[in-house]
Structure 1
Amino acid sequence: MFIAVMGDRSRGWLGGLAVAVLGGTFVLALAAVAQEWTAYLIWSDALRLTASLTPISAAVALMVPAIALAVVFHATQHEQAHGLGRLTGIMILFTGGMELVVVADDLLTLLIGWELIGACSWALISHKWRDIENPRSGLYAFVMTRFGDLGLFAAAMALYSATGSFDYAGIATLEGTFQWIVAFGILLSAASKAGQVPFSPWLFRAMAGPSSVSALLHAATLVAAGAYIIARLEPSLSLAPGFSVAAILIGLITALAGGVTGVLQNHAKRLLAASTSAHLGFMFVAVGAGYPGIAVLHLIVHATFKAPLFLSAGLAGDAAGSYRLDKMMLGQTMPIVGGLTAIAAVGLAGMPPAGGGWSKEEIIKAVEHTGYWLPIAVMLGGALSAAYTTRFLLLAFSWRGDDERSIEVPDRVETIGLGILAALTLTTSLLWYPPLAEALAALLAMTLPKGSPLMLGLSLAFVAAGVLGGVYLVRRHPTLGTSGATAAASDWLGLPKLITIDVVRPIDALARTAAWIDDTLIDAGPRGVAFMGRKGAAFIAEVDNRVVDQGIRNTAAFGDWLAQVSDRFGETISDGIPEGSARLTGMLGRDIRRLQTGLSHHYYAYIIGGVIAVIAILAAGA
């Protein structure tokens, strides 16, 4: 927050500070992993915060600052200069909150980190607050995810009621109702954060934030937190009857719905947002199948290719003046960005030899033991992923021979973060080398699933079909999703409208009814008497006056008092702190200069006095 409070500074200064802070975070995480670090903070006999690193959480703890470093540096070099200091500071705080989620070893510590990343996401989505639609989108995303957070609060209360502790270890000891509340409360909260059905529409509203925010949110922080937490707690959560089936159903439905939505989308960032929901759906499927380590591996690989895709979408959208894919075609004017995007796109499409292809195939292997239908359904989701990725790449960065547009090409500094992330994507391709993959699995204390060559061949055929389908749509229907039925379906297949009809409107009607009762029956007098009788109306009016209205009046009075105090003392304090600090610094400087006499015997006296003081301190300590 110190960076945010300091305000806007030069891009070089902010970029260097971001690299220093997040680089330091990565080094600290690496040291913690090497030393098998644990920590705790005792609040009381009953409440304490605990942190520890399992193999899974250690891997994610390293991934988060590594991805954030490249993304935040890109933000400092590319996003609008106005408000850049605030944006940089909150993005770093966002990363810190995610690290707290990762290292948490109890539900209370998890809740603190969970709430922190939720608040930061609202601030970042609403960053350009002068456009009223951006704060509205931030509020929509915040409320949607907050509804899911109720599950985590219920889980924490149930765990404490049953065990007298918030520790993760207590989850495995639960039975009956408490076990069900904890398991499905955490699943509900994870699904809302991860943008799973029915919470998926908030990811589209979150696109109101800068592209760098979208990259961080989708690759390494808020959205990733949902998949991470059920993978982290899977050994305990899977003991609850029905948990594994529920996780698979939520993930599979979201993977397929997100895939279809992505294919129909013509907005570059929304297409990528739909792909995030779909790929996190794959992770939910892997967790439900009993392979949380595979889910985390895909989470890490997904971060390496999803972050650069969002950054490139931001560069392309700013250059073209629109996020409409059919209006871009920037391959001729931005060939470097296009090439780096292609590297990341191969990962999103799940094509060999990209790491994204390897981790997706591992998920298919993980569900093979369930039969044929579930692996084929995951393959279908992979085909949809290949199709929308092909559309994105060919429309955004294809060559346009008659391109006479005046386009401001990003400079080399703006592409550094994109290049670092593309290099990480290339590095994950080494996972196709079996000895390396097995060594990584051993570090994560997991076993890679066994799959059949038949399923691998069938999966690659699905991917090839998806690529061909994407090419066909680009050639025959380049404006798909811009109008008509496809445009309506591209907004999460009509789910936002369904939520409005079934949830928003009934709640709004209930609020209006309550207001009508208050205004008409209670405050209006005669109507209330006619409806409830004189004594009933008088009683209700008295309660309303003493409880409801008095509370409002007290709140207003407090706000008025606070405003008067702020008007009287606020300016004095805000001016007095910096002015007093300046005066104190000047006074100290003048006094210290008096010690600089230039006479050596004075300096010897200072040294002797210092030595005597040190000896006295040591003697007192002894």
Structure 2
Amino acid sequence: MSAALITAIVLPALVGAALATGGRFAERAAVTVSLATAAIMAIAATIGAVTRAEVTGGVPRLLTDSGPDFRVDALAAVVLPTVVWIGFLVLVFATADRTRPAARFHGLMLIFLAAVVVTVTATGLPFLLAAWEVMGATSYALIGFRWQDRARVAGGFTAFTVTRAGDLGMYLAAGAVVAGGGSWSLTALQSLPGPWVHVAAAGLLAAGFGKAAQLPFSFWISRAMEGPSAVSALLHSAAMVAMGGYLLLRVDPLLGGTGWAGPTAAWVGAATAIVLGIVALAQRDLKQVLAASTASQLGFVVLAAGVGSVSGGAAQLVAHAATKALLFLTAGAWLTATGTKQFTGLRGVAARWPAVGVLATVGAMSLAGLPPLSLWYAKDVVLAAALEEQPWLYTAGLAGAALAAAYSARIIALLWRRAGTPEASWDDEEHGTRQVPRLAIVPMVVLTAAAAGLALLGTPLLHPLLAPLSGPAVSWPELAASAAIAVIVILLTLWRTPIIRIGAHWFGLERAAVTVVATPTLRLAAVLARLDDRFGTAVDLSGRALGQAARAVRALDERGPAAATGWVGSGVAVLGRLARRPQTGQVHHYYIGATVTVAVAAVLLLVVR
């Protein structure tokens, strides 16, 4: 049913634009209209996923191939419902959390969701590029939503510029298609001729790494935590960050066909899982832990794309989306209630709000990879594919999984250990509302069920959903081994929580980017600006000189040759009058003239000699 897919794209885009620009006139009805739109969108997207909807004829055929412009294939059928339903649940939480102004917030969120749906279902580069741009622009507006705070706007700007640097790769890939005369279809990029297939692969790798916060782009996600809690829960669980990994899963044939792009993606993903796992262990801000763990967990999706396990990558992406959305919402609820996201102010917070504490604990256990929760199975599908590809890659993945168990156990310890923190700190009216709204718990319960139950994707019950996707099956010994590692690491961490200092500042990634990229770029821009100014000055001076020359020529042209002839005639007349003066007819005048002439001649002769 193409109508369902069109509804899932067009309706939120139009309603979102109306709300975002409606100002105070739209404020009163914004929440009701937004939630109704998101619900219709989620239902329509689910229908589109079940029916494998297609939409054809959106743009002129000269820009696309003869196939559909939007299509729900096996991969999109798994990811699309996940994104839109999490989006709906996040908007419910934002309503309970009273994110204001509601019209602008809900409008931007709906536009963002529409762009994500296009990203998931687009079959060619033109629509994908457009959606990619809208995602980037709205993410900047959402992260810096509270624009009165300079730090928040700066965080949004950092996220925007860093991801934009990676986004240039998308244009590089589009240029390779134009230069190589290939097809715009994503499924045909591996057929590009000659070197252009490598250019396209490099460009899409950069775009995927940038959006998925993989090394060396990872630091932007730390700055993105300045946004509202609902924004973090959507953008950094199921939407923008996930779309970087999703893009690489989508172009898996291209990565595998180059011979180098697949291994590059695999090792970057594994390295990110390890490095950002260490960063997560070193943080003392709950949202920063979740941010670093997001990049680390998306590393497994990128690893899956590199080793050709599309099914494992899809399962990891979906399970992580539910788990991380849950954890971000619980962190947001506590931030509103206590007024802090620092560990020192959150220790033992689960005892104060036990319902939220239990839900967050389930999310943390899923993040740790404990059986039978969703990320346990999904991660092992990826690791099984890595083992077939290269044993060292499998070892690196296991190390990343062990780190995930460690930072998840640290979250659990934070939630339940009192550690002498006085309960009065939670009851200070200046630092929080001291309550978690009941409506805010509803989406958390739904996400908890998903975080616990999405492992069913790998069982015979729901396996047909992932069957069309590529990737080897995971064995029970591998599942048991990873579960044992997770349990041992969690017990050790709970027994004695390690104090990790290395990586507390994200290994200086932002400082390195400023030193290596930003500063030289700005200096080069300053030099070019000065050269441009000088060139402009030279052009201005040459313009003035040409103007003066033109005026002189015009004056000469206006006066004409007759004027020049008149000047010559006047000069000759003057000389004639001077020549007549010596002709007086008196002899003594002639003698004087002759004497002067002889004297001058004598002097000249002496000088010449």
If the length of structure 1 is used for normalisation, what is the TM-score? 0.78
Please point out which of 519, 530, 534 is paired with 1:505: 519
> Which amino acid counterpart does residue 28 of structure 1 have in structure 2?
A
CA distance in 1, matches of 2:377, 2:54: 33
CA distance in 1, matches of 2:257, 2:543: 49
Deviation at 1:269, TM superposition (A): 0.8
User: Does 1:284 pair with 2:297?
Assistant: no
User: Does 1:335 pair with 2:354?
Assistant: yes
CA distance in 1, matches of 2:33, 2:539: 63
Which residue in the other structure is 1:316 paired with?
A: 334
Counterparts of 1:238-257 in structure 2 under 5 Å?
238-257=256-275
Please point out which of 423, 429, 440 is paired with 1:403: 423
Deviation at 1:37, TM superposition (A): 1.8
Deviation at 1:427, TM superposition (A): 2.3
Deviation at 1:65, TM superposition (A): 0.7
1:15–1:77 CA contact under 8 A, matched in 2 = no
Deviation at 1:178, TM superposition (A): 0.8
Quickly say closer, same or farther: Cα 1:231–1:172, change in 2 above 3 A.
Answer: same
> Which amino acid counterpart does residue 151 of structure 2 have in structure 1?
E
CA distance in 1, matches of 2:39, 2:464: 26
Quickly say closer, same or farther: Cα 1:59–1:45, change in 2 above 3 A.
Answer: closer
Deviation at 1:492, TM superposition (A): 1.6
> Which amino acid counterpart does residue 37 of structure 1 have in structure 2?
A
1:441–1:448 CA contact under 8 A, matched in 2 = no
1:316–1:396 CA contact under 8 A, matched in 2 = no
Please point out which of 23, 26, 51 is paired with 2:42: 26
Which residue in the other structure is 2:475 paired with?
A: 451
2:310–2:471 CA contact under 8 A, matched in 1 = no
1:171–1:237 CA contact under 8 A, matched in 2 = no
Local SS of the residue matching 1:352: coil
The list of structure 1 runs, each at least 4 consecutive aligned residues, that deviate by more than 6 angstroms after superposition, is 9-12, 543-546
> Which amino acid counterpart does residue 136 of structure 2 have in structure 1?
G
Which residue in the other structure is 2:486 paired with?
A: 463
Q: C-alpha offsets along residues 11-52 of structure 1, whole Å, 9 cap, x if unaligned? A: 995444333212211221222233332112354451248111
Percent identity between matched residues is 30
User: Does 1:326 pair with 2:344?
Assistant: yes
CA distance in 1, matches of 2:207, 2:240: 12
Which residue in the other structure is 1:436 paired with?
A: 461
Which residue in the other structure is 1:370 paired with?
A: 389
Which residue in the other structure is 1:563 paired with?
A: none
1:37–1:53 CA contact under 8 A, matched in 2 = yes
Counterparts of 1:31-430 in structure 2 under 5 Å?
31-41=47-57, 43-48=59-64, 50-81=69-100, 83-163=101-181, 165-329=183-347, 330-399=349-418, 402-405=422-425, 406=427, 408-430=434-456
Quickly say closer, same or farther: Cα 1:375–1:165, change in 2 above 3 A.
Answer: closer
Which residue in the other structure is 1:495 paired with?
A: 509
Deviation at 1:460, TM superposition (A): 2.5
Deviation at 1:169, TM superposition (A): 3.7
CA distance in 2, matches of 1:545, 1:436: 84
Deviation at 1:347, TM superposition (A): 1.0
1:101–1:114 CA contact under 8 A, matched in 2 = yes
2:83–2:239 CA contact under 8 A, matched in 1 = yes
Quickly say closer, same or farther: Cα 1:258–1:168, change in 2 above 3 A.
Answer: same
CA distance in 1, matches of 2:58, 2:208: 27
CA distance in 1, matches of 2:301, 2:63: 32
Local SS of the residue matching 1:239: helix
2:183–2:189 CA contact under 8 A, matched in 1 = no
CA distance in 2, matches of 1:192, 1:206: 13
Deviation at 1:241, TM superposition (A): 2.2
> Which amino acid counterpart does residue 460 of structure 2 have in structure 1?
P
1:387–1:468 CA contact under 8 A, matched in 2 = no
CA distance in 2, matches of 1:39, 1:281: 32
Local SS of the residue matching 1:41: coil
Which residue in the other structure is 1:617 paired with?
A: none
CA distance in 2, matches of 1:360, 1:457: 12
CA distance in 1, matches of 2:408, 2:544: 58
Quickly say closer, same or farther: Cα 1:450–1:404, change in 2 above 3 A.
Answer: closer
Bigger shift: residues 9-18 or 345-354: 9-18
CA distance in 1, matches of 2:315, 2:261: 21
Bigger shift: residues 7-16 or 137-146: 7-16
Q: C-alpha offsets along residues 119-173 of structure 1, whole Å, 9 cap, x if unaligned? A: 1100001100001121121111111111111111111121133235422243132
CA distance in 2, matches of 1:415, 1:201: 30
Local SS of the residue matching 1:138: helix
CA distance in 2, matches of 1:304, 1:543: 65
Deviation at 1:497, TM superposition (A): 1.3
Quickly say closer, same or farther: Cα 1:511–1:349, change in 2 above 3 A.
Answer: same
> Which amino acid counterpart does residue 18 of structure 1 have in structure 2?
S
1:262–1:274 CA contact under 8 A, matched in 2 = yes
Local SS of the residue matching 2:56: strand
2:182–2:192 CA contact under 8 A, matched in 1 = no
Quickly say closer, same or farther: Cα 1:300–1:45, change in 2 above 3 A.
Answer: closer
Quickly say closer, same or farther: Cα 1:268–1:79, change in 2 above 3 A.
Answer: farther
> Which amino acid counterpart does residue 298 of structure 1 have in structure 2?
Q
Q: CA RMSD in A?
A: 2.6
Local SS of the residue matching 1:245: helix
1:354–1:428 CA contact under 8 A, matched in 2 = yes
CA distance in 2, matches of 1:356, 1:185: 30
Local SS of the residue matching 2:460: helix
Local SS of the residue matching 1:56: helix
Bigger shift: residues 10-19 or 53-62: 10-19
CA distance in 2, matches of 1:77, 1:543: 65
Task: Give the gaps of 5 or more residues in structure 2.
Answer: 1-16, 429-433, 547-609
Bigger shift: residues 465-474 or 419-428: 465-474
CA distance in 2, matches of 1:439, 1:544: 77
Quickly say closer, same or farther: Cα 1:13–1:413, change in 2 above 3 A.
Answer: farther
> Which amino acid counterpart does residue 287 of structure 2 have in structure 1?
K
> Which amino acid counterpart does residue 106 of structure 1 have in structure 2?
G
Quickly say closer, same or farther: Cα 1:91–1:507, change in 2 above 3 A.
Answer: same
Deviation at 1:84, TM superposition (A): 2.1
Quickly say closer, same or farther: Cα 1:78–1:42, change in 2 above 3 A.
Answer: closer
Bigger shift: residues 214-223 or 506-515: 506-515
Which residue in the other structure is 1:17 paired with?
A: 33
1:18–1:73 CA contact under 8 A, matched in 2 = no
> Which amino acid counterpart does residue 523 of structure 2 have in structure 1?
A
Local SS of the residue matching 2:236: helix
> Which amino acid counterpart does residue 33 of structure 1 have in structure 2?
A
> Which amino acid counterpart does residue 292 of structure 1 have in structure 2?
V
